[in-house]
Amino acid sequence: QKEVEQNSGPLSVPEGAIASLNCTYSDRGSQSFFWYRQYSGKSPELIMFIYSNGDKEDGRFTAQLNKASQYVSLLIRDSQPSDSATYLCAVSNYNNNDMRFGAGTRLTVKP
């Protein structure tokens, strides 16, 4: 069974702070790692992807991957109230034919 685990939260941070979201996965063969944002009642929206160990930065977002620890994280700098959403970690194999999601972490950014 390919498991993707996330702390369900809720995670609450003040506006302007750094939000840190974590994810672990069970399948050592996983090759592709994604972070999606999902607003209530909407579809998942891709915000970051990472394939190699280390950090990847895109604007206020940084994804971090450690394959040895089977751990992937997302940092959101200068958090804004509009960042309030559920963040979904997704993991896929090399062929990307079975991307699996974690249950998501609900983030609230308070003004």
Partner 1 sequence: EPEVTQTPSHQVTQMGQEVILRCVPISNHLYFYWYRQILGQKVEFLVSFYNNEISEKSEIFDDQFSVERPDGSNFTLKIRSTKLEDSAMYFCASSLGDGNTEAFFGQGTRLTVV
Q: Whose Cβ is closer to partner 1: residue 22's or residue 38's?
A: 38
Judged by the rule CB under 8 A, the positions of this chain that interact with partner 1 are 32, 34, 36, 38, 42-46, 49, 88, 92, 95-104
Q: Whose Cβ is closer to partner 1: residue 6's or residue 73's?
A: 6
Question: Nearest approach, Cβ of 96 to partner 1 (angstroms)?
Answer: 4
Question: Nearest approach, Cβ of 99 to partner 1 (angstroms)?
Answer: 6
Distances in whole angstroms, Cα of residue 76 to Cα of each of 46, 56, 64, 89, 98: 14, 12, 12, 14, 27
Structural contact between residues 8 and 103, judged by C-beta atoms closer than 8 angstroms: yes
Question: Nearest approach, Cβ of 68 to partner 1 (angstroms)?
Answer: 21
What is the rounded distance in angstroms from the CA atom of residue 94 to the CA atom of residue 39? 28
Neighbours of 53 (CB within 10 A): 11
Q: Whose Cβ is closer to partner 1: residue 79's or residue 86's?
A: 86
